[in-house]
Structure 1
């Protein structure tokens, strides 16, 4: 953790975590944006970037950043394991009392992390939902179907489960035995957090379409893996199948 030029003592140490797989066109931009955001918002922060076996030079770009900026920490997987595994590695490596994660594809304005921080004293988790969501309609349709299925099985009333713009207190991450290696990780995080009684607050965040690289979340094998992991969690946590949501802002599911 390091101290930025513009010191702000209102919040505790912050870790910004980014899983990366073949994001070479975005790596420099997202790390630069993360450092700028940390400097503006908190007095002490780190940027944890997890390379999940990239083959396009992403790992080398991350290593270059970590070598020249002590605020940037590189975590590397020798091979591509999956989004959930990369995120879990980043959450485990994070040292901050507040832990934020997002994707490296620049679909979010990291400056809006300020809005999540503003609610961090009153809630254990602050989860963004994309408003409006700028993805192609097939991806939105899949997300809406998934949200309805998860709500029916686990009683999870979250507007945008897979929105990669979430802030947690360290105690939440420490309490949850996460196991997902794929795209199911967001669902597992929220379902387990709800079952454990953590308070979840939802706020809208801006969203833009990916400009560089390719999305993988809607690929058939990714969806199938998520469905299999959902069934495993269903068997593991039968007590939460009908749990009512504790989120502060339930409502419709824009996807």
Structure 2
């Protein structure tokens, strides 16, 4: 069987191309990703073109200080399926996702990091389950992070289970598909690293179903991760406890009225 190498170092086979009947918005938050953003966007365009008849890529340039914005502008001029949203200053991961979600206008909304640590081809693993579930959630196989980041992630997952009652294998895996109707009706309130936990909590609270699928996590090739920065962690804890209390009070009020 003939095979060709991909940008991730893995190989693609000549298997029949999967098909998605629904339209798809791909949201990519980007902050100082000049070394990889063109490769990521181009690879998504090339991969999805034979699989999805109607899709768009919404890239949110979250206050980048390098050439990310310039590169994205050129990509959007070359292909109308690429849309760019620009935050003049860095607002945080959650804020970037929310801006992308608000702009998404297709049937389904998928989001992924733009740093090359996921292979967009693995979205095809989700296709058989999209009609059966309200969301399909990736979890990282062989996570390519330091032991400290893995430990922090484990502790965060336990805390989210305890405080919000959310039980998933990988809270913050940036490889998930939701129905856009859910995205638009949910009024997401957090703007930092808490955003994934909020999405999952509101999915659970609304009674929606989900399927979890393992996806490969690739080594970071360029740039520097910011998720373990003390400022990011502190903001996540602050948002968690503030909104958990707010949402509990809302739930009590809703049950009282019922």
Q: Same fold (TM over 0.5)?
A: yes
The alignment partner of 2:50 has SS state of helix
Find 2:46's aligned residue among 36, 39, 61: 36
Distance (whole Å) between structure 2 residues aligned to residue 199 and residue 67 of structure 1:
38
Matched, 1:14 2:24: yes
- The Cα shift of 1:40 comes to 2.9
Q: Which residue of 2 aligns with 1:71?
A: 81
On the 8 A contact 1:48/1:74 being kept in 2, the answer is yes
The alignment partner of 2:118 has SS state of coil
Q: Pairwise CA RMSD of aligned residues? A: 1.7
- The Cα shift of 1:85 comes to 0.5
Distance 1:174 1:196, change over 3 A: same
Q: Which residue of 2 aligns with 1:147?
A: 157
On the 8 A contact 1:183/1:226 being kept in 2, the answer is yes
Displaced runs of 4+ in structure 1, greater than 2 A? 6-10
Matched, 1:179 2:189: yes
Structure 2 residue runs without a partner (length 5+): 1-15, 252-258
Count of paired positions: 236
Q: Which residue of 2 aligns with 1:103?
A: 113
Q: Which residue of 1 aligns with 2:128?
A: 118
Q: Which residue of 2 aligns with 1:160?
A: 170
Q: Deviations over 1:109-129 (max 9, x none)?
A: 110001112211011110000
The alignment partner of 1:101 has SS state of strand
Distance (whole Å) between structure 1 residues aligned to residue 127 and residue 100 of structure 2:
19
Q: Which residue of 2 aligns with 1:133?
A: 143
Matched, 1:60 2:70: yes
- The Cα shift of 1:100 comes to 0.5
Distance (whole Å) between structure 2 residues aligned to residue 100 and residue 150 of structure 1:
22
For the pair shown, which has the larger CA radius of gyration, 1 or 2? 2
Matched, 1:219 2:229: yes
Q: Deviations over 1:200-241 (max 9, x none)?
A: 211100111211000000111100000011012211211799
Structure-2-length-normalised TM-score: 0.88
Distance 1:228 1:60, change over 3 A: same
Q: Which residue of 2 aligns with 1:253?
A: none
Structure 1 residue runs without a partner (length 5+): 1-5, 242-255
Q: Which residue of 2 aligns with 1:244?
A: none
The alignment partner of 1:46 has SS state of strand
Distance (whole Å) between structure 1 residues aligned to residue 28 and residue 209 of structure 2:
23
Distance (whole Å) between structure 1 residues aligned to residue 99 and residue 67 of structure 2:
20
Distance (whole Å) between structure 2 residues aligned to residue 63 and residue 233 of structure 1:
36
- The Cα shift of 1:37 comes to 2.3
